[in-house]
Amino acid sequence: MTVHIDNMTRVFDSPNADRIVAVDELSLTIEDGEFLTLVGPSGCGKTTTLRCVAGLDTPTAGTIRVDDRDVTELPPQQRDVALLFQDIALYPHMSVRKNMEYGLKIAGVPEDERREHVAEAAALLQIGDQLDKMPASLSGGQQQRVALGRSLVRDPSVFLFDEPMSDLDAKLKRELRPVVQRITDEIGCPVLYVTHDQEEAMTMSDRIAIMDDGELQQAGSPKNVYSEPTNDFVGEFIGQPAMEFFDARVESANGTAAVSLGEHTVSLPATAAELEGYVDGPVRVGVRPQQIGIGDPAEGIEAEHVLDEPLGDETHSIFETEFGDVTVVTHADFDGDAETDYGLVLDESATQLFDPDSGVRIH
Amino acid sequence: MASETVESTATTDRRSVRGRLGLDGEALRGWATVAPVILLYLFVAVTPVAFAIYASLFEVPLLNPNWTFTGLSNYVEVLTMNSFWSSLWLGALFMIGSTVVQLLVGLWIALVLNQLDRGQRFLTAVAFTAYLVPTVIVVLVALFMFDVEVGVLHIAGSTLGLWGERTFALGDQTWAMPLVVLVGSWKFSIFVTIFTLAQLRAIPDRFYEAAKICGASRWEMFRDITLPRITGVLLIAVLLRAVFMFNKFDIIWMLTEGGPAGATTTLPILAYRTAFLHNDYGVANAMAVVMFVFLAIGAYCYFRAFDPTAEVNT
């Protein structure tokens, strides 16, 4: 199965006459067996997209196809999709077993076959001993496993996830991530996973699609979107801690670009052709906090130390500069001090240039 | 920790012993707060019931202050009275018929109101007004609608051939009971709606969405989600409706006075007739006590069979 989303738009009428364009001409293909994550800040249209694929919502324009079948207008009952909700939505009046076999029961699968499927899924999810309990007596993580089981036993042709882990704590998330991956691998159908957590997106996906304000910003493999963001939004959204940006000016471009950054001029890797039209104009320099070094003020951007967040293996240090607060990933032993003047030195080869107005990457 | 708990229980014990002797301020305050309710309950509920049981042991002519103690003979009279058993049967018919109609109509209205996207609040308020219309008005309108000359329902029914052109339907042996049930249900169905609607609104949309994803049809969603979620509240509503309708007096009396020829004489009507038309207050009280016992047994069996409280708690 392959899911094709073509030019899909979803507009909501809001009571105060402003129409809200939740999804704007989105085109996206999810290949068979591919784990595609839609990621973006809340309100970016990712959940609306998922609900349209599920059939719980209908696009205003555009089509959704599964293989060659146009499912745009079909109700969810006729789509053979599985959906895992953020708020789990287990039926509180049914036992865990009843919850898990509900889809099979609706499909008219005989009782003994249902038991077999449920037992299999429960073993995979390690909830075999919980089957006769009521959902309310399970922990959040176990409930989400049951919900996963409920979707899993039906062997769907498309698997959808709507921020299934955002109500779970960090440890449970890490435990559940491999479970989800193993299960989706096993089913081998296209997976659309919606999250606002870039870490989840990076760790689980074959491909990530980043959305903002209803529009697709970039789609690519996790490594690709991390190292080659198409614009400053993607650069900032993907990666932890977020990419830092500095407003600068291009002085000249001859092989390398001389860019004035505060009081210093640094030479960045960019050709004259790439920088055509930017010379003598503003530009945004983006660099990941891992690529910023600490020196003295003569060497780099003058900075005052604000605080350290030691993580054990490294430290996130926050500095105040003329460009605002800048986070730098420093050595685990780094211990900043408010009296000292620091200079932030950017690793020039790791910088990326963005258009100051559109945010588009210059290259 | 543990020793502390033991100590504190010991102090409470000592305090409550003193409290029983009336020495403790807190206990006194406690009694003072519950006393009004207890007194009120004694006067409003316990005394009349006790009085009825007491009076049921006497022969009480209404216009004669001299009561004659007759022991259980009133009860014997009640239980051997043909009209008692036929009224019990009619009362059961009225109770079951009314409860079923009210449950179905009330649930239906609730489901419809719950589906509305627009005007839900307004229409809910409109529907609820039926419950606020005084019974006497309901009866007056009903009598008018069944009027042989101009009544719209009379004309509709006679056109359909249900009753003759000159037949007053509420005075017809066959039609009196079903029509009394219907008129009563017009007013009281909304009671079931009030109970159910709040519970329906509390069912998250997610449950239905998850069921749709699983491929469930509308009927399957109703059977597997809606119904289980409102069973508890329906059981309570049915119990209350059944009790209220078993004891219903006003609407029947005003519509038919138990007629024609006793066709709508339920137990409350019979008891009223016995007391005030046959001047036999003692027997009427015995009848009321027997009704009470029957209701209590019925309610007990109902609770044993369904346990509505457990459903509500989940």
* Distinct helix (H) and strand (E) counts, chain B: 16, 2
Give A244-354's CATH code, choosing from 2.40.50.140, 3.40.50.720, 3.40.50.1370, 3.30.70.100: 2.40.50.140
Pairwise CA distance, residues A10 & A23, whole Å = 5
Pairwise CA distance, residues B121 & B144, whole Å = 31
Q: Is residue B223 part of a domain?
A: yes
Check residue A96 and give its pLDDT. 92
Q: Is residue B60 part of a domain?
A: no
The answer to whether residue A154 neighbours chain B at the CB level (below 8 Å) is yes
B217 and B113 in one domain? Answer: yes
Q: How far is A52 from chain B (nearest CA, A)?
A: 12
Q: What is the mean pLDDT of chain B?
A: 84
B178 and B271 in one domain? Answer: yes
B203 and B103 in one domain? Answer: yes
Task: With beta carbons less than 8 A apart as the criterion, state whether B220 and A107 touch.
Answer: no
Check residue B7 and give its pLDDT. 47
Which residues on chain A are in Cβ contact (under 8 Å) with B314?
92-93, 136
pLDDT tens, B186-242? 989 999 998 899 899 889 888 999 999 888 899 999 999 999 999 888 998 999 999
Give A3-237's CATH code, choosing from 3.30.590.10, 3.60.20.10, 3.90.1150.140, 3.40.50.300: 3.40.50.300
pLDDT at residue B16 is higher than 70: no
Pairwise CA distance, residues B245 & B268, whole Å = 10
The answer to whether residue A137 neighbours chain B at the CB level (below 8 Å) is no
Q: Cβ contact (<8 Å) for B210 and A56?
A: no
pLDDT at residue B312 is higher than 50: no
Tell me the torsion sign for CA atoms A231, A237, A243, A245: positive
Pairwise CA distance, residues A331 & A335, whole Å = 9
Q: Is residue B105 part of a domain?
A: yes
Average pLDDT over residues B253-280: 85
Q: Is residue B103 part of a domain?
A: yes
Check residue B1 and give its pLDDT. 39
B124 and B31 in one domain? Answer: no
Range(s) within chain A of domains with CATH label 2.40.50.140: 244-354
Residue A160: name the closest of B212, B225, B224, B220 by CA.
B212
CB pairs under 8 A between A and B: 59
**Which of B207, B215, B224 minimises the CB distance to A89?**
B207
Check residue B158 and give its pLDDT. 85
Tokens of B162: 């249900």
Tally of structural domains, chain B: 2
Per-residue pLDDT of chain A (363 residues; tens, 9 = 90+): 899 999 999 998 877 767 888 999 999 999 998 999 999 998 899 999 999 999 999 999 999 999 888 999 999 988 889 898 888 889 998 999 999 999 899 888 899 999 998 998 898 888 888 899 999 899 888 888 898 888 888 888 899 999 888 888 888 888 888 888 888 888 888 999 999 988 899 999 999 999 999 999 999 999 999 999 999 999 999 988 999 999 888 887 777 777 887 778 888 887 777 888 888 888 899 999 999 998 888 888 888 899 999 998 999 999 998 888 999 999 988 888 888 888 888 888 888 889 988 889 987
Which residues on chain A are in Cβ contact (under 8 Å) with B225?
91
Q: Is residue B144 part of a domain?
A: yes
Tokens of A353: 């240039």
Instruction: Indicate the angle between helix axes B120-132 and B176-201, nearest 10 degrees.
Output: 140
B51 and B120 in one domain? Answer: no
B306 and B223 in one domain? Answer: yes
Which residues on chain B are in Cβ contact (under 8 Å) with A136?
314
DSSP label of B163: S
B104 and B17 in one domain? Answer: no
Preferred mutation among B118, B199, B213 to probe A, highest tally of A CBs within 10 A: B213
The answer to whether residue A334 neighbours chain B at the CB level (below 8 Å) is no
Which residues on chain A are in Cβ contact (under 8 Å) with B210?
83, 85, 89, 91, 150
B150 and B254 in one domain? Answer: yes
Q: Is residue B67 part of a domain?
A: no
The answer to whether residue A332 neighbours chain B at the CB level (below 8 Å) is no
Q: Is residue B65 part of a domain?
A: no
Preferred mutation among B205, B214, B225 to probe A, highest tally of A CBs within 10 A: B214
B301 and B191 in one domain? Answer: yes
Q: Cβ contact (<8 Å) for A77 and B217?
A: yes
pTM of the model: 0.77
Q: Cβ contact (<8 Å) for B212 and A75?
A: yes
Pairwise CA distance, residues A143 & A127, whole Å = 10
B129 and B50 in one domain? Answer: no
Q: What is the extent of the structural domain holding B235?
A: 76-313
Tokens of A203: 């760790």
- Determine phi and psi for A192, rounding to 5 degrees: -115, 115
DSSP codes of every residue in B113-157: HHH-SSSHHHHHHHHHHHHHS-HHHHHHHHHHHT-TTT-HHHHHH
Task: With beta carbons less than 8 A apart as the criterion, state whether A154 and B214 touch.
Answer: yes
Q: Is residue B101 part of a domain?
A: yes
Range(s) within chain A of domains with CATH label 3.40.50.300: 3-237
Check residue B314 and give its pLDDT. 43
B121 and B167 in one domain? Answer: yes
Check residue A236 and give its pLDDT. 92
CATH of the domain at B186: 1.10.3720.10
Tokens of B198: 């709040």
**Which of A75, A87, A106 minimises the CB distance to B214?**
A106
**Which of A80, A83, A106 minimises the CB distance to B220?**
A106
Q: Cβ contact (<8 Å) for A106 and B228?
A: no
Q: Please tell me which residue of chain A has the smallest CA distance to B311.
A: A93
Angle at A36 between CA A30 and CA A40, to 5 degrees: 120
Tokens of A180: 């989800």
Residue B311: name the closest of B239, B211, B212, B207 by CA.
B239
Tokens of B65: 């202050």
Check residue B151 and give its pLDDT. 87
Which residues on chain B are in Cβ contact (under 8 Å) with A107?
215
Pairwise CA distance, residues A229 & A337, whole Å = 34
ipTM, 2 dp: 0.82
The answer to whether residue A150 neighbours chain B at the CB level (below 8 Å) is yes
Pairwise CA distance, residues A48 & A35, whole Å = 18
- Residue A150, Cα to own-chain centre: how many angstroms? 25
**Which of A83, A94, A106 minimises the CB distance to B216?**
A106
Q: Cβ contact (<8 Å) for A150 and B214?
A: yes
pLDDT at residue B3 is higher than 60: no
Give A158's strand partners. A81
